[in-house]
Structure 1
Amino acid sequence: MSIKYRIEIAYSVYNDIELAGWAVCDDQDEVVQLDLLDANGKQLRQCINRYSRPDVGIRFFHSSDENTYGFKLRFPFRKGDHYILRLADSKSTVEKRIDGKLIFIKRVLKNMMEKQSIREIFERRIRRKNILDYPEWFKLTKASKEELIKQKEYKWAEDAPLFSIVVPLYRTPKGYLKELIESIGAQTYVKWELCLADGSPDNKLEMFVKSYQDERIKYRYIGENLGISGNTNKAVEMATGDFIVLCDHDDLITPDALFEFAKEIVADSEVDSIYSDEDKIDEKSYDVFDPSFKPDFNIDMLRSQNYICHLYGVRRELVEKYGMFNSEYDGAQDYDFILRMSEHSRKIAHVAKILYHWRTHQGSTALNPESKMYAYDAGARAIGAYYARVLPEIQIERIENGYTLGMYHTVFKFNEYPLISVIIPNKDHTDDLDKAIRSMIEKGTWPNLEFIVVENNSTEEKTWEYYKKIEKEYSQVKVVYYDGIFNYAKINNFGVRHARGEYYLFMNNDVELIEPDSLKEMMGYGQRNDVGAVGCRLLYEDNTLQHAGVILGIGGIAGHAFIGLRSEGETYLNRAMLTQDMSAVTAAVMLVKKEVFEKVEGFDERFAVAFNDIDICMKIREDKKLIVYAPYACFHHYESKSRGAEDTPEKIERFNREIGLFNLKWEKNILDGDPYYNQNLSVKDGFFNIRNIESEKIGQPYYSLEMRNFLKDKAKDIYDKK
Structure 2
Amino acid sequence: MMNYDFVTESMRLHLTEQNRMVFRGFFPEDNPEKRILKVYVNKEEVPVELSVEKSVDIRRRYLHYQMNVGEEITGQFIIPEETITEIKVCSCSNGEEALSFRADGKLYEKMCRSLESNLEMERLEEDKIVLTGWSAAGNITKCEVLVDKKKVPVEVQWKYRKDVVDVFKELSDDANCGYEIFVPEQGGKKLVLILSAGEKSKQYEILLEKVRQGQEKQTSSGYVGKAIAYWKHYGLKKTVRKVIYKLKGEKDSMNYEEFLKKYGVSEKELERQRQENLTDGPLFSIVVPLYCTREKFLREMIGSVQAQTYGKWELCLADGSGSKKNLKEIVDAYRKDDARIRYALLKSNEGIAGNTNETLKMATGDFIVLTDHDDLLSPEALYQCAKVIQEEPQTDVIYSDEDKVDMGGKHYFEPHFKSDFNIDLLCTMNYICHLFVFHKNVLAKAGYFRQEYDGAQDYDFILRCTEEAKHIVHIPKVLYHWRCHPQSTSENPESKLYAFTNGCKAVKAHYDRIGIPAEVERGPFYGMYHTKYQWKEEPLLSIIIPNKDHVDDLKKCIESVENRSVYRNFEFVIVENNSIEEETFAYYKELEKRDNVTVLYYKGEFNYSRINNFGVAQAKGEYILLLNNDTEMIEPESIKEMLDVCMRPDVGIVGAKLLYEDNTIQHAGVIIGFGGIAGHAFIGQDKEDNGYFSRILCVQDLSAVTAACLMVRKSVYDEVKGLDEDYRVAFNDIDFCLKVRKAGYLVVYNPYAQFYHYESKSRGLEDSADKVARFQQEIALFGSHWEDILEHGDPYYNPNLTLDKADFSLKE
- TM-score w.r.t. the length of structure 2 is 0.70
Partner of residue 568, structure 1: 688
> Structure 2 vs 1, CA of residues 197 and 78 (structure 1 numbering), >3 Å: closer, same or farther?
closer
3-state SS in 1 of match to 2:479: strand
**TM-superposed deviation, 1:543:** 1.5
**TM-superposed deviation, 1:223:** 2.3
3-state SS in 1 of match to 2:224: strand
**TM-superposed deviation, 1:652:** 1.1
Aligned 8 A contact 2:550 2:762 in 1: no
**TM-superposed deviation, 1:42:** 5.5
> Structure 2 vs 1, CA of residues 570 and 82 (structure 1 numbering), >3 Å: closer, same or farther?
closer
Partner of residue 138, structure 1: 260
Aligned residues: 611
3-state SS in 2 of match to 1:399: strand
Which of 329, 353, 360 lines up with 2:453 in the alignment? 329
3-state SS in 2 of match to 1:314: strand
Question: In 2, Cα distance between the equivalents of 1:141 and 1:332?
Answer: 33
Partner of residue 431, structure 1: 552
Aligned 8 A contact 1:39 1:83 in 2: no
- In structure 2, give the amino acid aligned to 1:581: D
Question: In 2, Cα distance between the equivalents of 1:153 and 1:641?
Answer: 62
Answer with 661-670 or 139-148: which moved more: 139-148
Aligned 8 A contact 1:85 1:95 in 2: no
**TM-superposed deviation, 1:205:** 0.3
Question: In 2, Cα distance between the equivalents of 1:354 and 1:642?
Answer: 46
Which of 76, 79, 84 lines up with 2:224 in the alignment? 84
**TM-superposed deviation, 1:41:** 7.8
Matched, 1:181 2:302: yes
**TM-superposed deviation, 1:648:** 2.1
- In structure 1, give the amino acid aligned to 2:409: S
**TM-superposed deviation, 1:529:** 1.7
- In structure 2, give the amino acid aligned to 1:380: C
Question: In 2, Cα distance between the equivalents of 1:590 and 1:147?
Answer: 46
Q: Deviations over 1:259-318 (max 9, x none)?
A: 001100111111000000001111222321111000111111111111110000001122
Which of 438, 441, 463 lines up with 2:562 in the alignment? 441
Question: In 1, Cα distance between the equivalents of 2:792 and 2:805?
Answer: 17
> Structure 2 vs 1, CA of residues 450 and 659 (structure 1 numbering), >3 Å: closer, same or farther?
same
- In structure 1, give the amino acid aligned to 2:791: L
**1:658-697 residue pairs with structure 2 within 5 A?**
658-692=778-812
Larger radius of gyration: 2
3-state SS in 2 of match to 1:84: helix
Q: Deviations over 1:340-369 (max 9, x none)?
A: 011111100111001111111599897976
> Structure 2 vs 1, CA of residues 684 and 378 (structure 1 numbering), >3 Å: closer, same or farther?
same
Question: In 2, Cα distance between the equivalents of 1:310 and 1:404?
Answer: 21
Question: In 2, Cα distance between the equivalents of 1:652 and 1:45?
Answer: 59
Question: In 2, Cα distance between the equivalents of 1:45 and 1:512?
Answer: 47
Which of 433, 436, 441 lines up with 1:312 in the alignment? 436
**TM-superposed deviation, 1:182:** 0.5
Question: In 2, Cα distance between the equivalents of 1:309 and 1:400?
Answer: 20
- In structure 2, give the amino acid aligned to 1:617: C
For structure 1, the residue ranges without an aligned partner over 5 or more in a row are 5-23, 47-74, 104-118, 693-722
Partner of residue 91, structure 2: none
Answer with 316-325 or 144-153: which moved more: 316-325
Partner of residue 149, structure 1: 271
- In structure 2, give the amino acid aligned to 1:210: D
Question: In 1, Cα distance between the equivalents of 2:750 and 2:672?
Answer: 18
**TM-superposed deviation, 1:568:** 2.3
Which of 330, 336, 344 lines up with 1:208 in the alignment? 330
Partner of residue 549, structure 1: 669
Aligned 8 A contact 1:189 1:258 in 2: yes
3-state SS in 1 of match to 2:317: strand
Matched, 1:356 2:496: no
Partner of residue 584, structure 1: 704
Q: Deviations over 1:565-614 (max 9, x none)?
A: 12423411110110111000101110111111111111111111000000
> Structure 2 vs 1, CA of residues 83 and 455 (structure 1 numbering), >3 Å: closer, same or farther?
closer
Structure 1 stretches of at least 4 aligned residues deviating more than 3 Å after TM superposition: 1-4, 30-35, 38-46, 75-83, 87-96, 361-373, 640-646
**TM-superposed deviation, 1:45:** 8.3
**TM-superposed deviation, 1:138:** 1.8
Answer with 573-582 or 319-328: which moved more: 319-328
Aligned 8 A contact 1:272 1:345 in 2: yes
> Structure 2 vs 1, CA of residues 399 and 82 (structure 1 numbering), >3 Å: closer, same or farther?
closer
Answer with 350-359 or 368-377: which moved more: 368-377
Aligned 8 A contact 1:422 1:506 in 2: yes
Partner of residue 719, structure 2: 599
Q: Deviations over 1:622-651 (max 9, x none)?
A: 111110111111111122799975322112
Question: In 2, Cα distance between the equivalents of 1:363 and 1:307?
Answer: 21
Partner of residue 527, structure 1: 647
**TM-superposed deviation, 1:137:** 1.0
Question: In 2, Cα distance between the equivalents of 1:628 and 1:3?
Answer: 38
Partner of residue 412, structure 2: 288
**TM-superposed deviation, 1:218:** 1.1
3-state SS in 2 of match to 1:528: coil
Question: In 2, Cα distance between the equivalents of 1:360 and 1:646?
Answer: 50
- In structure 2, give the amino acid aligned to 1:492: N
Question: In 2, Cα distance between the equivalents of 1:79 and 1:546?
Answer: 38
**1:630-641 residue pairs with structure 2 within 5 A?**
630-639=750-759
> Structure 2 vs 1, CA of residues 245 and 643 (structure 1 numbering), >3 Å: closer, same or farther?
farther
Question: In 1, Cα distance between the equivalents of 2:470 and 2:220?
Answer: 58
Aligned 8 A contact 1:540 1:638 in 2: yes
Partner of residue 318, structure 2: 197
**TM-superposed deviation, 1:562:** 0.2
- In structure 1, give the amino acid aligned to 2:257: P
> Structure 2 vs 1, CA of residues 270 and 452 (structure 1 numbering), >3 Å: closer, same or farther?
same
Answer with 409-418 or 350-359: which moved more: 409-418
3-state SS in 2 of match to 1:215: coil
**1:265-304 residue pairs with structure 2 within 5 A?**
265-304=389-428
Aligned 8 A contact 1:506 1:588 in 2: yes
> Structure 2 vs 1, CA of residues 76 and 245 (structure 1 numbering), >3 Å: closer, same or farther?
closer
RMSD: 3.4
Question: In 1, Cα distance between the equivalents of 2:417 and 2:121?
Answer: 23
Question: In 1, Cα distance between the equivalents of 2:492 and 2:481?
Answer: 16
> Structure 2 vs 1, CA of residues 93 and 374 (structure 1 numbering), >3 Å: closer, same or farther?
farther
- TM-score w.r.t. the length of structure 1 is 0.79
- In structure 1, give the amino acid aligned to 2:274: K
> Structure 2 vs 1, CA of residues 690 and 369 (structure 1 numbering), >3 Å: closer, same or farther?
farther
Identity of aligned residues (%): 50
Partner of residue 138, structure 2: none
**TM-superposed deviation, 1:94:** 9.8
Q: Deviations over 1:133-182 (max 9, x none)?
A: 01221233221111111111111133x11111111111111111111110
Aligned 8 A contact 2:656 2:753 in 1: yes
**TM-superposed deviation, 1:230:** 0.2
> Structure 2 vs 1, CA of residues 443 and 582 (structure 1 numbering), >3 Å: closer, same or farther?
same
Question: In 1, Cα distance between the equivalents of 2:486 and 2:799?
Answer: 32
**TM-superposed deviation, 1:445:** 1.3
**1:324-473 residue pairs with structure 2 within 5 A?**
324-361=448-485, 372-390=496-514, 392=515, 394-396=516-518, 398-472=519-593
**TM-superposed deviation, 1:89:** 5.9
3-state SS in 1 of match to 2:415: strand
**TM-superposed deviation, 1:330:** 1.2
For structure 2, the residue ranges without an aligned partner over 5 or more in a row are 5-27, 33-62, 70-113, 123-214
